[in-house]
Amino acid sequence: MRVALIDYGAGNLRSASRALAAAGVDPIIVSQPAGLAATDTIVVPGVGAFAPAMRRLAAAGLVDAIQSAAQRGVPLVGICLGMQLLFDRSEEGEPVPGLSLLPGIVRRLPESVKVPHMGWNTLEPRGASPLFAGLPLRPFAYFVHSYIVRPADPACVAAETEYGTRFASIVHSGRIWGLQFHPEKSSAVGARLLRNLLAQIAGERRVAPRGTI
């Protein structure tokens, strides 16, 4: 599987690359649209703020390239900020359009909790999915974020997490996935989720039964 890891100056490329390698793929770092021409899967990592990230993607010509690839049916995975960029817009900073691959907006976490949300928290799957094979019923993952997505279509929420409010910690619609947490920081749970996700993208179903990591 040829996995393109997008480099737009806002991603934790080194740790994301190591996590993907541990999951069984050797990602190719891509910073130009031409690098997406023959890819099997696109991964958009990210840390930082929504508007500067979108400006950097646009400056590199990657917005149109990512959108075109998604329209062709190329699987796309957004991680942390990369998940938020999949949506229409964010309340963070100046108003800048997102990738608009999934309808919805990005909102700040409520003032009733400490922001950023940093540390371990549970994923609560909404329904059965091969993505959660081999995992405990409510696995722990590692989060670092101040904003959350509010999808227009609740059916795309694959897992939720509670922190001042319930929010979408995993989204999935068609061939698009988003992970609000950092799988590369989430130990065995993050590694298993990435392996399951890549297996699902590849059309494989040979994953462990639930209940073990």
Q: Which of 87, 74, 96 is nearest to 168 (CA)?
A: 87
pLDDT tens track for 74-107: 999 999 999 999 999 999 988 899 999 999 999 9
**pLDDT, position 36:** 93
Q: What is the pTM of this model?
A: 0.93
117, 145, 172, 182: which is the annotated catalytic residue? 182
117, 145, 156, 184: which is the annotated catalytic residue? 184
Q: Which of 202, 153, 198, 165 is nearest to 179 (CA)?
A: 198
156 is known as an active-site residue: no
172 is known as an active-site residue: no
Q: Is residue 208 pLDDT above 90, yes or no?
A: no
Q: Is residue 33 pLDDT above 80, yes or no?
A: yes
pLDDT tens track for 12-29: 788 899 899 888 899 999
182 is known as an active-site residue: yes
80, 92, 117, 172: which is the annotated catalytic residue? 80
The two most distant CA atoms of the chain are separated, in Å, by 46
pLDDT tens track for 157-207: 999 999 999 999 999 999 999 999 999 999 999 999 999 999 999 984 343
Residue 15: helix, strand or coil by DSSP?
Answer: helix
